[in-house]
Amino acid sequence: MTVIEAIQQGSARLENAGVESPRLNAELLVGDVLRIHRLSLVLDSRRELTTEQFLALEEHLRRREAREPVQHILGTAEFYGREFRVNRHVLVPRPETELLAEWTLQTLAASSVEAPCLLDFGTGSGCLAITLALEQSTASVHAVDISAEALAVAKVNASALKAPVTFHLGDGFAALPGGLQFDGIVSNPPYIPSREIAGLDPEVRDHDPLLALDGGAEGLEFYRRLATEAPAWLKPGGWLALEFGDGQAADLLRIFGGAPWRGAEVRKDDTGRERMLRIFVAG
Ligand code: GLN
């Protein structure tokens, strides 16, 4: 079988299995077994796969047909131009979360704080904390997660990418040493209403950790916690930058509607849906 045949047949199989973007997925999987970047495959399109490559591809395709996320099969996901290790213990980093990282960096650029102290609340793979530490080298970045398995992945990513992040294991602010005060807190917390999880795509429902998805009955539990607990951990004038689910903007604005919160701003993702909130504590 040649590379181009492998891509065509793989793509057809994935399409039949209901996989979104089947051609892209087939190219990623073929590229992985050949150890060639997807975009260079065209140069090798007539090359024959070895038996080992063919068998490895069969295994990849079988897993993807069973709707395992392509990032789990490859073991990596791209976020903000860097490769992160991922496995079933962490949420696969999403492109919309890159927009939260971007907004956070813009917020830092617009502020007069030279060496900001930041927190990533529920760091998962570490994608936000690590990106902030690398893009804003004057920042000291802390990250907390309740899952020891997730934190292990985040630490592997931080050391592979040489990102100076201080990790804390435990349930939110209770896991942090007293006395820390942040200029900003970012979070992409679990926000799916519990009863909606069963209806998600199999890639998410069966492979992202439940702990990273389930935001309680209305999906708002972590925002309520942040609204009441974060002010004590923020410096005067500090801010919170949050991702939330499609349709939750009004709930978020209500939850963060009272003192000491002020200056709420909502941003949309690339599909035009309101998905992020930035809000300040009184200065
Ligand atoms: N902060 C991580 C991310 O944005 C993990 C989020 C989560 O597990 N809910 O991908």
97 lines ligand 1 (CB under 6 A): yes
Q: Do domains 3-66 and 91-281 have the same CATH topology?
A: no
pLDDT at 243 (0 to 100): 98
Count the helices and strands in the chain (H runs, E runs): 11, 9
Ligand 1 atom with minimal separation from the 100 CA: 4
For residue range 52-101, what is the model confidence (pLDDT) as tens digits?
999 999 999 999 999 999 999 999 999 999 999 999 999 999 999 999 99
pLDDT digits (tens, 9 = 90+) for 173-199: 999 999 999 999 999 999 999 999 999
Label the pairing between strands 274-281 and 234-243.
Answer: antiparallel
pLDDT in tens, 198-253: 999 999 999 999 999 999 999 999 999 999 999 999 999 999 999 999 999 999 99
- Burial (CB count <10 Å: 0-12, 13-18, 19+), residue 188: buried
> 91-281 adopts what CATH topology?
Rossmann fold (3.40.50)
Question: Ligand 1 pocket, 71 CB below 6 A?
Answer: no
**Whether the CB of 124 sits within 6 Å of ligand 1:** yes
E strands along the chain, which residues? 76-79, 82-85, 117-121, 140-145, 165-169, 182-187, 234-243, 261-268, 274-281
Q: Report pTM.
A: 0.95
Q: Given this structure, which CATH class describes domain 3-66? A: mainly alpha
Identify each DSSP E strand in 123-208 by its residue range.
Answer: 140-145, 165-169, 182-187
Rounded (5°) CA angle 109-110-115: 55
Dist. CA 150 → ligand 1 center (Å): 10
Strands (DSSP E) found in 37-145: 76-79, 82-85, 117-121, 140-145
Q: Could you tell me if the CB of 131 is within 6 A of ligand 1?
A: no
Cβ(189) – ligand 1 distance below 6 Å: yes
From 127, 185, 214, give the residue whose CB has the most ligand 1 atoms within 8 Å, as the site to mutate: 127
State how far the alpha carbon of 279 is from the alpha carbons of 52, 56, 209, 259, 267, in Å. Answer: 53, 48, 28, 11, 11
Across residues 163-168, what is the average pLDDT? 98
Alpha-carbon span 166 to 144, nearest angstrom: 9
Look up residue 4 and give its two tokens.
């181009």
Domain boundaries, the chain: 3-66, 91-281
